[in-house]
Amino acid sequence: MGVTRRGVMQGLGAGLMSAALPRGLFGQMGEGAAATKRIPVGERKFRSAAVEAYIEETVGRIGDKELAGLFANCYPNTLDTTVQPGTFEGKPDTAVLTGDIAAMWLRDSSAQVWPYLPLARRDKALRELLEGVIRRQARCLLIDPYANAFMADLNAPPLAWSRTDKTEMKQGVGERKYELDSLCYPIRLAHGYWKQTGDTAPFDARWKAAMTLVVKTMRVQQRKDGPGPYSFERESMQSTEMLPNAGMGNPVKPVGLIASGFRPSDDACIFPFLVPSNLFAVTSLRQLAEMAHGVLNDGALAAEAASLADEVSRALGEYAIAHTAEGTIWAYEVDGFGSQSLMDDANVPSLLGLPYLGASPDKALYARTRAFCWSGRNPWFFKGTAGEGIGGPHVGMDMIWPMSQMVWALTSESDAEIGRALTMLKGASAGSGFMHESYFKDDAKKFTRPWFAWANTLFGELVGRVAVERPRLVAG
């Protein structure tokens, strides 16, 4: 069996993949978490005056020096180390790597640049960089709407672990795991960019074609006319790396929900109707309908997106709610036949993260689901001497993902919960000055992925928000 993404991630400790890290990423590690760990200015991939001003302003609001240092390191990490700005056909074109893997995930790239949107209006260079991400994502979707990851150089061969996969690989694709959320995140980013900047430049004929294909793909994956064209098989000792049933996934009853082959963790779904991704799809489709009306002047696309959103929403209410001793909650996965999986995974979209994505239509139902997710009733919730939080099959038992702690705080209205999350996140850094993918529940120094830009930027988003909305929690 060759190298896989899972195999790359499962080494533990501060030395994990150190050879792949940009020089200086862990510079000054011995000087304490408050010391800067950013790479030297001359080696940064992109510099935004607005971002630098925001960092200075936010650090000035934070009395907790350790937290301030972590924020200053993490918030700009995507811009410092992962973006590759350029042009294509005379327009901005930006690839965004995940960090330690030389490929661009549609999900990760959208999430990585999301916290910079509020600053784009007053920084032309940043705005053009973000426009480039939207344009690159449209190109990628048109290459293959079933792929989750694409090479930064679209002429490069796929990622090493994908080269023997039994699926229809196309030029430019890095990995071809069909994930419903990968169709949603580019809509979220485009809609957020439009709302924050008012700029409609990225939303040209290519973007319209990509969005039309997104809706068409979602329709196909409702599987009303059979399983559709997508299948995926991989030689692996990990069952989560492949789809059963000759690569088609487990059967579903076509009830209006949209199937997904894989979860946001890149792990195979057990039951293909992944509930948090379907809830996210409802929100994204309604955002697309708004843009189809307000930007594209395309009533037909708007009507199709809105109609699909309404159908999925109705089906969620009928098939995706589970009955427990503590009341009804959202299931994690269902198949339309009555089978349900009760759990949550750290990767977003998650059940815990629904309000963060604007995808929680029922507050009471979410509150009960949230209590389930952050408890021992969730089989992937872990609690130890180094912290508590949600993990998932991707890394395995007893490994807490800091991302879950960030999402717990971002979706909380409790000072106590947010303060607890910030304390755990400081410990999760293990003195590195950055966030990681996961860490062992009893020892934060045993961690995966020291260079994981999504977690870093999400942490920056959280701390920046708390510094403004709840300054008492960062006073030190």
Residue 20's pLDDT band (cuts 50, 70, 90):
very low
Task: Answer for the pair 143, 150: CB distance below 8 angstroms, yes or no.
Answer: yes
Look at residue 5 in the predicted model and tell me its pLDDT.
54
Q: What is the mean pLDDT of residues 44-64?
A: 98
Asked if omega into 158 is within 30° of 0 (cis), the reply is: no
Cα 141 from Cα 186, distance rounded (Å): 9
pLDDT in tens, 264-316: 999 999 999 999 999 999 999 999 999 999 999 999 999 999 999 999 999 99
The percent of residues above 90 in pLDDT, for the chain, comes to: 92
Residue 335's pLDDT band (cuts 50, 70, 90):
very high
Q: Which of 101, 186, 70 is nearest to 452 (CA)?
A: 101
Q: Which CATH class is domain 5-474?
A: mainly alpha
Cα 322 from Cα 472, distance rounded (Å): 38
Look at residue 35 in the predicted model and tell me its pLDDT.
59
Q: Which of 154, 121, 160, 124 is nearest to 140 (CA)?
A: 154
Residues 6 or more apart whose Cβ sits within 8 Å of residue 333: 269, 270, 271, 272, 273, 274, 275, 340, 341
pLDDT in tens, 119-145: 999 999 999 999 999 999 999 999 999
Average pLDDT of the chain?
94
